[in-house]
Each structure stands twice: as structure tokens, then as C-alpha cells.
Amino acid sequence: MKSDFEYLGYILGEIDFLEKELKAITESAFLTSEIHKRATARSLEIIGEAVKTISPGLKSKYPEIPWRLIAGTRDKLIHGYFIVDYKIVWDAATNKLPALKPQLKEIRLKEKDIFQAG
């Protein structure tokens, strides 16, 4: 069974991927690129799935992270019945997640000690 430490690593890896892939592209270029749109949506799905597997204990320990909102975004992408608002996807990938990255890194650092001790 994977640990919260590992799931946080997956989330941070996807945020890194999104930052790298989207840094040189504009929103209008993104909205016309099927490859970028689909890859970004997939990364958000992976992030949402990782969030869903993080323990309730860790989530309650860090209530400042919008865990439910992140998981809910994944659900909307998966169960959206072929309708995806890529402007929302763009905003999540280029604004919301990068803003959370420092907090998630800090949480992972704190949890690393717990993970290694256990």
C-alpha cells in the first residue's frame, strides 16, 4: 500500500509536468491544442485520484488545502459526459495548482520524517 508521502509525490510530479508543458503556451494556444488540452486534463485526473487516496488523517491535519475541490475536479473530468470546460482546466493547471505547490512541498517534507520513522 502506498503512503501519503508517495501520493503527494505523484501530485507534485504532475504539477511539475504541467508547469513545464504549459509555461511557453498562451491560453488561446492551449484552447486550440488537443494534445495540450487532453494531457492537462489527464494530469488533473491523476492529481484528483491521488488526492482521493490520501488518508483522512493527513487531510484533516492540513485543512488549508482544498482537498475536496481537487478531488471534485477529477470527478467532473471523469464523469463530465464528454463536456469539459478547458478554460477551467487551464486556470487550474496554470494558476490554482502552482499556487498550492509550495504548501504541498512543505507538507511532503513534514510527512517525510513520519514516513521514514514508520
Give catalytic residue positions: 74, 79
Buried b (16+ CB within 10 A) or exposed e, 10-19: bbbebbebbe
Taking Cα atoms as reference points, which of 77, 21, 111, 20 lies closest to residue 30?
21
43 near 70, Cβ under 8 Å? no
DSSP letter at 81 equals T
Taking Cα atoms as reference points, which of 106, 4, 95, 107 lies closest to residue 44?
95
